[in-house]
């Protein structure tokens, strides 16, 4: 017999393309079996929101699950994007119009400028439809759904624009690619920083979170434990990158970048 505690999260739908899992009353996780990141439907007493929306290619599954929960696209008051990566925001333009779209101001800026490098557009074979972010979020904003109060935390590291959402009363933490079950690291992308990542993990570890809802992988009932593993791993990564930097001849490796900056500046002479 296994010592593993029973899975506290109920699976509602499980087919060949996605799984729909109940994280808490009114909170459901969509886990797509392709490249789309997890999406979350939060049905509050006054407002209904989605946190991340996956890709256009996973939108039929998102809609299928929403219908299953008695919710249509028109019922979504707000789409909150955790950061600018396309696997999280790909289907957002399908909500543009009536539904408000929110993201941290640093993600909103990258999306508004169509920064395909920052959004990792080339990694995904998706239609390129521009959309705008209606609400530019900051640390400390609160999204009030009636019986959910989601506090916006700016948790940079994976990218500069990552946010986490935390409901203190329910101990419910949406941490996207910053904190994942088992302390899996989200990687450091273009605008990100391992030092920022470590600080963000420390902040999340200090919350009284009971349920972790991440951008990839399963739900977790041990967020604080997960955060401590992630902190250990991120510190190891910090010392690895230090050694890596020493191993390269840093000056020589940065020369092409320095040269292109010099070339750019010459244009103004």
The nearer residue to Zn ion, 81 or 207, going by C-beta atoms, is 81
The nearer residue to Zn ion, 145 or 165, going by C-beta atoms, is 165
The nearer residue to Zn ion, 215 or 223, going by C-beta atoms, is 215
The least CB distance from residue 37 to Zn ion, in Å, is 4
Asked whether 88 and 215 are in contact (CB, 8 A), the reply is: yes
Pattern 36-55, Zn ion, x by CB under 5 A: -x------------------
The nearer residue to Zn ion, 99 or 214, going by C-beta atoms, is 214
The least CB distance from residue 246 to Zn ion, in Å, is 28
* H-only helix segments in 206-249: 223-247
Number of residues this chain uses to bind Zn ion (CB under 5 A)? 4
Q: Report d(CA 245, CA 172) in Å as an integer.
A: 38
Q: Using the rule CB under 5 A, is 85 a contact of Zn ion?
A: yes
Output the six-digit token pair for 129.
């439809």
DSSP code at position 31: E
Q: Report d(CA 120, CA 176) in Å as an integer.
A: 16
The nearer residue to Zn ion, 54 or 215, going by C-beta atoms, is 215
The least CB distance from residue 122 to Zn ion, in Å, is 14
Asked whether 76 and 178 are in contact (CB, 8 A), the reply is: no
Beta-strand relationship, 78-81 and 48-51: parallel
Q: Report d(CA 88, CA 35) in Å as an integer.
A: 10
Residues numbered 100 to 159 that lie near Zn ion (CB under 5 A) are none
Exactly one of 26, 192, 215, 223 binds Zn ion (CB under 5 A); that residue is 215
Q: Report d(CA 16, CA 201) in Å as an integer.
A: 34
The nearer residue to Zn ion, 149 or 193, going by C-beta atoms, is 193
CA atoms within 13 A on the CB side of 112: 13
Q: Report d(CA 25, CA 65) in Å as an integer.
A: 16
| Three state DSSP letters for 100-151 | EEEEEHHHHHHHHCCCHHHHCHHHCCCCCCCCCCCEEECCCCEEECCCCEEE
Q: Tell me which stretch binds Zn ion (CB under 5 A): 44-52, 59-67, 77-85, 101-109.
A: 77-85
Measured from each CB, the residue nearest to Zn ion is: 85
The least CB distance from residue 2 to Zn ion, in Å, is 30
Q: Tell me which stretch binds Zn ion (CB under 5 A): 102-110, 121-129, 175-183, 219-227.
A: 175-183
| Of 131, 126, 129, nearest in space to 58 by CA | 126
The nearer residue to Zn ion, 37 or 173, going by C-beta atoms, is 37
Q: Tell me which stretch binds Zn ion (CB under 5 A): 34-42, 95-103, 142-150, 235-243.
A: 34-42
Q: Tell me which stretch binds Zn ion (CB under 5 A): 57-65, 79-87, 108-116, 149-157.
A: 79-87
Which residues make up the interface to Zn ion (CB under 5 A)? 37, 85, 177, 215
């Amino acid at each position: 017999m296994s010592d593993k505690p029973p899975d506290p999260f109920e699976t509602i739908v499980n087919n060949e393309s996605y799984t729909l899992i109940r994280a808490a009353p009114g909170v459901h996780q969509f886990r797509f079996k392709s490249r789309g990141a997890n999406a979350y439907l939060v049905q509050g007493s006054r407002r209904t929101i989605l946190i991340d929306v996956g890709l256009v290619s996973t939108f039929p599954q998102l809609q299928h699950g929403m219908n299953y929960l008695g919710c249509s696209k028109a019922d979504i008051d707000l789409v909150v994007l955790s950061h600018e990566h396309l696997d999280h925001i790909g289907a957002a333009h399908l909500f543009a119009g009536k539904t408000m779209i929110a993201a941290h101001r640093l993600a909103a800026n990258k999306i508004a400028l169509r920064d395909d490098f920052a959004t990792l557009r080339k990694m995904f074979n998706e239609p390129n439809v521009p959309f705008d972010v209606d609400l530019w979020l900051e640390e400390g904003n609160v999204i009030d759904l009636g019986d959910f109060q989601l506090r916006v935390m700016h948790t940079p590291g994976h990218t500069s624009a990552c946010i986490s959402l935390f409901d203190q009363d329910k101990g419910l933490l949406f941490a996207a690619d910053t904190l994942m079950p088992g302390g899996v690291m989200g990687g450091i992308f273009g605008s990100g920083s391992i030092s920022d990542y470590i600080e963000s993990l420390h902040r999340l570890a200090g919350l009284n979170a009971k349920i972790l809802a991440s951008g990839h992988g399963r739900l977790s009932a041990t967020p604080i434990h997960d955060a401590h593993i992630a902190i250990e791993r991120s510190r190891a990564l910090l010392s690895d990158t230090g050694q890596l930097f020493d191993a390269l001849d840093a000056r020589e490796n940065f020369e092409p970048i320095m040269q292109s900056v010099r070339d750019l500046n010459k244009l103004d002479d």
